[in-house]
Chains A and B, each alone.
Chain A
Amino acid sequence: MTTTEPQPTETEAEHPALAIDGLEMSYIVRGTPRAVLRGVSFEVRAGEAYGLVGESGCGKSTTAYAALRYLPGNGRIDAGRVESGGQELTAMSGRELREFRAQRASMVFQDPVQAVNPVLKIGKQVAEAFEVMGQSKSEAHASALAALKRVRIAAPESVMERYPHQLSGGMLQRVVIAMALACDPTLLVLDEPTTGLDATVEAEVLDLVRDLRSELNSAILLIAHNLGVIRTMCDRVGVMYAGRIVEEGTVDEVFDNPSHPYTKGLLNSIPRRGLRKTDRELFAIPGSAPPIGASLPTCTYIDRCPIATDICRTDVPPIVDRSDGHWTRCHHADRIGDVPEPQEVTVEYNVGNEQVIGVNGVSKTFRQRGHDVPALVSVDLGFAEGETLGLVGESGSGKSTLAKTMLGVHAADEGGSITLRGRKMAGKATARVEESVRAISMVFQNPDSALNRAWTVRRILHRSVVKLTGVRGAAADKRVEEIAEAMQLSPRHLDMRPRQLSGGLKQRVAIARAFAGDPEVVVCDEPTSALDVSVQAAILNLLAGLQNDERTSYLFISHDIGVVRYLADRIAVMYLGRIMEIGSTATMFNGTNHPYTEALLSAVPSVDGIAEDRIPLVGAIPSPANPPSGCVFHTRCHRAIEGLCEVTEPQMVELSAGHSIKCHLTVEQLSEPVHIDPAAVLAVAIDDPLA
C-alpha cells in the first residue's frame, strides 16, 4: 500500500488550472462550526474536464464554490490550499480575488433563469461581461455578438434584443455560458449546469460544452449528480463522499472498474443497460450520508459499507493505486468483489386483464386571456390492475395536466370520460363519490412541498386514513402503523416532522399517504427526480414491491427514460397534449419508434459510455395555444415529409399488438438510420421562441 497522492504536477510545464490541496472547510450553523470538507485534494490540469460526483450533502458544491473562493457568510476555510495557475487563492486580498474572478475564472450555475437579470436585455448583459474587462461600449457590443455566435446561437442580433423570459431554458443557459466565457477563463466551473433542464435540452447544452472544449483552453470542473453526464463529458472523475474524495481516475476506469464500495454502490443503484424490474432489484445503499459536522475520524463511508472490518474503525484508509492515475481510499480495495450484488427478483409481476381506470377521449382546454389553450387533446389510456404505465415527454407536453385531470383537480372538457371499473366518474374531486376519491391518489415530485412540515408523520398519515377510509380511533392508529411498516418506516419516524427526515424517508411518508386510502391507481409525478440515485433505488424497489402486494396500478411520470424503462410495463409518449406513441416497454426499445420518441431516447446521457448518435430536437416545444398544423411534431421532426406532415394530422396506427404510433411514416421508413451532424444542429436558428 502506498500513501502517495496522485502524481504531482512538476511533470507539466505549466501550473494546473486548479489545484486543491488538503482543503478543510466548515459552516457555522447556529453558533457551532460543522465540518463539510475533510481534506479534499485534486487538481484540474489545463484543458482537462474533471467531474465531481456524489450524493447530496457530500460537499460537491462547496468544493466548486471554494475553487473560486466564493464562500457563504457562514463558511470558513480551516486548512488547505486552493491554487489556480500557480496563484494561491486562499492568500489573495479582496481586490486580487475580484480580479481573478473577472479575468481568469468563471462559473455557470444550475438555474440559468436566476443567473440573469430579468429586466435587462440579453445583449446588454452579455456586453456587460466584456465591459468589466475594460472594453468600450461599442467594443463590448461587438464582443457580445461574437460570444453569442460562439455558443452557436444563429441569430445573435435578434437574441440580443430579447429579454431573458423570452428565451427557453436551454437558450438561456447558452447565454450564461457565453457570459462565462467572456474572459476566456483558464478555469470554468459548471455546477449542475443541466439539472433543471429537460433531457433533450440537457443534451443540447452538453453538446455545446463538449464542442466548445476543443476551441477553448479552459479547464472544466463539472459538478453533477447524474453519472451519465459525467461519463459523457469528463476526462477524469472524483467520487466524493462526506467531504472527501474516495476514488479518482479516468471516467472509463472509475465507471467500468469501480474500486471503492461507495462508487460501486452508486453504480449499482441506477438502472443500467436496459435493466427491468423483472430482472433484479436496484441496489440501495443502506443508511444515509452523514450530516455535515459529523465526527468521522477514520473512513467516512464506514457506516454504510458492506465490506467494512475492524481496521476501518481504527485506521484512516490509505490511498491505494489501482492503475495509472486511478486510486481509491479504502482498506479493502482488493476485496471490492465482495460487495454483494443486488438481489435477483423471484416474484412474478402479473398485470391483470380487467381495466381499472379508463381515460377515454379526454381533452382539457384552459382559457387564457380570452384564448383557448388545449392542454390535452383526446387522450385515450387504460390501466389494468397491477400495471405501471410510464408517461414521458418534455416539460410542457401535458403530463402533469393529465395527472391532475385524472385526480379531479380540474374537470376535463365535455365529451371525454374517466371511468373507474367501467363507471364514469365526476370531473372535479369535490363532486366525486367517496369511492372515486379513494381510488386515485398521488405521489408528488417534491416531498418537501407535499408534506405539511408543521405536522408529525403520524398526523399526516392519520388524517388521510380517517378522511379517506372513515376508520376512526384505535383502528385508525393501527392502520397508520401498518402502512408505515409497509413503507419500511420505523415507529420512531412516526413522531418526527418531515424536516427531521431525509429526502428518501420523506418520499416514503408521501407514498404511505398515497396508499392510506387503499387506492386503485397511484399517480407518481416524478417521484424520484428530487432524490439521489441511491435513494431513488430504494424508492423504486419499494414502489415495485408495493405494486406486487397491493395490485395497485401506477401512472408513472418521469423524464428519466432509464427509470421508466425499469419500472413500467407500458410506456406512453406525450407531445403537446397528445399521445404520440404507446406500447409495451419491450416494443418501445426494439428500434422502431415515433420520431419524437427516437429523439427523446437518443438524448439520454449514458453512464455506460456507449456513444450514440444524438437526434437533436430543434428549438423549443411549441405553445399549445397555437399548435402547428397537421402533425403537431412536424416543426421539430427529423423525418418530416414535406407536403404531408404539415398538412394532414396522422392517425394512431398500430404497428404491432399494443404498440401504436401517431405518424405518417411506415415501419421501413422509421427504421432507416438517420445521421445528423450535431454541430450543424447546434447552429440552428431559434425559429420562433416567442410562440
Chain B
Amino acid sequence: MADPKDKTGAAGPASPPAVPSIPRLTPAVPEPVSATEPTASPAGSPPAPGTLPASPAVPQVAPVARPPAPGRPGARSPTGSMPAVPPVAPVVPPVGRTPTGSLPAVPPVAPVVPPGTRTPTGSLPAVPPVAPVVPPGTRTPTGSLPAVPPVAPVVPPGTRTPTGSLPAVPPLPPRARTGPAVPAVPVAPVPPAAQAPEAASELASLDHRHALLDELDYFQVMGLELTASPAEIKLAFHHESRTYHPDRYFQSPDAELRDKVQAVYKRVTEAYFVLRDDARRKRYLADITGPDRLKKLRFDELAEAEAKAAVKKEVAEQIGTHPKGRQFFQSAVADLEAGRFSAAERNIKLALTYEPANPLYKQKLEEAQTKLNEEFKRSGGKGFRIE
C-alpha cells in the first residue's frame, strides 16, 4: 500500500504524498478510546458518528480557515475544522476528509485546491460539489468540537510523521524496481476525499498488492528502501500491521477479501521476520540482488541450508572421505579413462575397502565391471579374466 501512495505523492505536489498515507493511518487513529474520538475522526476515520452533534462551532471557523487554505495545497480539507490550525492544516491534508467543506466558504476553496493538489482529477471534481452538500451532514464531525480543531491538527502530524517518513522512503525505490504496475493502482483510488473512497482505495491497493505478491521482494512488500534502518523496518511493520492486520477484516462478510488480507499480511510478517535479523537480511539482500532474484524473492533458510549440505555431500563423495580410498579411486578413474578396465576394477575394489558405503565408488565399480564384461565378450572369451 505504501508504495502506491507514495508514488502518487511523488508525482503530484508536495501535499499529496500525505494523502496516500492517510488511508493506512486511518485505521490506527481511531484506536483511541471513546474520549479520543474527536481527534480520531479528523485524522482519518470518516465514521466517527458520535462526534457529529457538536457542529455549531464550525461555521465560524470555516471562514477563517478558508483563506489560508486555498494557498496551501493540502489545506482544503482539514481547514474547516481549525481556525488556528491553518499552518498545520497543510500537513494534515491527507486526511482529506475535509468534511470541513461543510462550510459555505468551502466551495471556493475546493475548486481552487483540486487543481493544484489533487491531480488525480477524477476524484477532485467530485469533491468540490460534495463539499457544499456535505456541510450539513458531514460537518458535524469537524464542527463537532470547537476544541477538536486544535487537536486534530496536532494528532495528524504526530501520527503521520512516522508514516510520512516511511512512505517517502519506500515508495520510490520499490517502484522503480518493480515497474509500472504498482503505481497506477494506488493513485486513482487515493484521492477521493470521502471515507468511502478511502476504503475503496485501500481495497484497490490491497487487490493490487495481492496480485503482485509473488513479484515483490520483501523490501517492496514493506515499502522500504534496500538501505532501510532497523528502526524504519520496525516502523514500517507497525504501519503495515495497522493496514493489513486480518483482525481489521475479521467481521467482513467477504471471504475472498479476508483471504487476500491474510495472504498479504502473512507476507508482511514473513518479510519482517527476515529483515529484522541482520544476518538473514544480509543473505537475503545478496539473494535478491544476485542473478537468481526471481527465484529468491522468498527467503528460504531451509533451502539454503539444504543446498549447502548437498554441495558438501557431493564434494565429499567425489573425492571420498578416506585419503587412501580417494587415492585408489582417482587412479581407478584414470584407468577407466585409459581403457584399462581390469585395473580400474581392482582399484575401485580397493577404494571400496576403505569406504564400503560410498555410492559413487559403487557406481564406478559397476561401470568398470560392465566395461570389462563387454570387452570380454568382444574378445570372444579369449581374454584373461579372474572371476
Q: Do these two chains really belong together in a complex?
A: no
- Partner-A contacts on B (CB < 8 A): none
